[in-house]
Amino acid sequence: MSYSIEEHKHRFAAWAAGRASNVKGCRFTVEQGKIILEEAGLKDVSNSLENLPQPSEFDRKHKEWRNAVIKAANKHNLNFTHGVAAKLINIYLKSIYVCSSYTNNEKIKVIHPPIDSVLLDALYKLNVSGKKKEWQAARKARWSKLDSDQYQRVINAIKATIPKENGLWTIEEYWQGYQ
CA 51 to CA 19: how far, in whole Å? Answer: 25
For residue 60, CA distances in Å to 110, 152, 163 come to: 12, 10, 21
For CA atoms 32, 34, 38, 42, the dihedral sign is positive
What mean pLDDT is reported for the chain?
A: 95
State the virtual CA torsion across 51, 57, 62, 65 in degrees, nearest 10.
Answer: -60
Most confident of 21-30, 44-53, 111-120: 111-120
57-to-52, 110, 143 alpha-carbon distances in Å? 10, 10, 23
Q: How many CB atoms lie within 10 A of CB 106?
A: 13
CA separation (Å) from 144 to 57, 70, 83?
A: 24, 13, 5
Q: What is the pLDDT of residues 81-140, one digit of tens each?
A: 999 999 999 999 999 999 987 778 999 999 999 999 999 999 999 999 999 999 999 999
Selection from 20, 8, 17, 97 nearest residue 58 by Cα: 97
Q: Alpha helices of 29-144 — where are they, by DSSP H?
A: 30-39, 42-46, 58-75, 82-93, 106-109, 117-125, 132-141
Write phi, then psi, for 81 (nearest 5 degrees).
Answer: -90, 175
Is the distance from CB of 46 to CB of 92 less than 8 angstroms?
yes
Question: pTM (2 decimals)?
Answer: 0.95
pLDDT, residue 179, reads 67
